[in-house]
Amino acid sequence: MMRAQGRMLTDVESLIEAPHGLGLSQRPALCDVTADRARISEKLVSLVARDSCAADQYRALRQTVERLRRERGFQVIGVTSPCPGDGKTVTTLNLAGALAQSPDSRVLVVDADLRRPSVAEYLALPRTSFPGLAEAILDPAYDLAAVVRCLDTFNLSVLPAGTPQVTPYELLNSPRLEGLLRDARRTYDCVLIDTPPAVALPDCRLIERFVDAFLVVVAAHKTPRTLVAEALNVLDPAKIAGVVFNADDRSRPSEYGYGYYGYPERVTWWQRLFGTVRSARVR
């Protein structure tokens, strides 16, 4: 069983106005994917082990995201991190699963990591020649509904990356992406975008134009501080909604008895990183 969890450590009071109306349409049509539960990654506790302690941690993160939506109108949220392997995809999918546990919610996960897409693999989606984000960007004949796969069992919609035929830069730079995400805003309450690492790749800066906020995943005890600082510099500070500490397995000093985080001495340097941001608060 996974001992780790994600948790928003720091919320950033940004100056973002809620720029997007929430003119939501009817529920998206449910389509054809039957999730193969047995083959879904065991790391996706929000889907396959909902009663676990780890799943509770993602529900806590869900509460924070729901509050950001309520209070600031955040609807499209990118999930990034400084380095490969920090846990972006696991965090994205577990947060999505937690959000989708509310039966009324309409949640879409977009795999915008066109370099190393893994959403479909984590979810054990059937390997087919279905089009994905890359195809939808290149070919206007595909609208959003044509490329979204709905996992009815989990009340979750997914837009896999597809098969990029041109460079990720060209795809993510396309105005078609903006159009697809505009449609997503009309159809879904919450859109989570799984992205490549923020450091050393231009992708997140392209995606940044279309998200309301980023969650920055940091692998506890792993992601180098210098790269965390670099990632935070690369991104627009006004769009950093918070840092999610992933896979921290320190013993929780309370009655819960499993991995936790947020020891004051550990938080200090994060707070320094966010020193320029007003009203940072630790949850």
Ligand X SMILES: Nc1ncnc2c1ncn2[C@@H]1O[C@H](COP(=O)(O)OP(=O)(O)OP(=O)(O)O)[C@@H](O)[C@H]1O
The CA distance from 156 to 100, in Å, is 6
Contacts of 250 by beta carbon, 8 Å cutoff, 6+ apart: 220, 259, 260, 261, 263
User: Residues 174-213 vs ligand X: string with x where CB under 6 A?
Assistant: -----------------------x----------------
CB of 273 to ligand X, least distance (A): 19
Q: Is there a contact between 72 and 190 (Cβ–Cβ < 8 Å)?
A: no
Applying CB under 6 A, among 28, 73, 84, 179 the residue interacting with ligand X is: 84
Q: How many chain residues interact with ligand X (CB under 6 A)?
A: 17
Residue 161 contacts ligand X per CB under 6 A: no
The CA distance from 282 to 228, in Å, is 18
- Walk across the sheet containing 156-159 and list its strands: 149-151, 156-159, 107-111, 190-194, 76-80, 213-219, 240-246, 8-11, 281-282
In the region spanning residues 16 to 45, those forming contacts with ligand X, defined by CB under 6 A, are 43
List phi, psi (to 5°) of 7.
Answer: -155, 135
Q: Which is nearer to Mg ion, 191 or 280 (CB)?
A: 191
Q: Which is nearer to ligand X, 85 or 224 (CB)?
A: 85
The CA distance from 273 to 166, in Å, is 36
Applying CB under 6 A, among 35, 112, 246, 274 the residue interacting with ligand X is: 246
The CA distance from 56 to 7, in Å, is 10
Is residue 267 packed enough to be buried (19+ CB in 10 Å), middle (13-18) or exposed (0-12)? middle
CB of 166 to ligand X, least distance (A): 20
CB of 197 to Mg ion, least distance (A): 9
Residue 223 contacts ligand X per CB under 6 A: no
Q: Which is nearer to ligand X, 203 or 212 (CB)?
A: 203
Angle at 241 between CA 237 and CA 245, to 5 degrees: 110
Applying CB under 6 A, among 89, 101, 157, 223 the residue interacting with ligand X is: 89
In the region spanning residues 100 to 139, those forming contacts with ligand X, defined by CB under 6 A, are 113, 116, 118
Using the Cα atoms of residue 254, residue 95, residue 65 and residue 101 in order, give the sign of their dihedral. Answer: negative
101 interface partner picked from Mg ion, ligand X, none, CB below 5 to 8 A per type: none
Residue 88 contacts Mg ion per CB under 5 A: yes
Applying CB under 6 A, the residues found at the interface with ligand X are 2, 4, 43, 81, 84-90, 113, 116, 118, 197, 246-247
Binding site residues, Mg ion, CB under 5 A: 88-89, 118
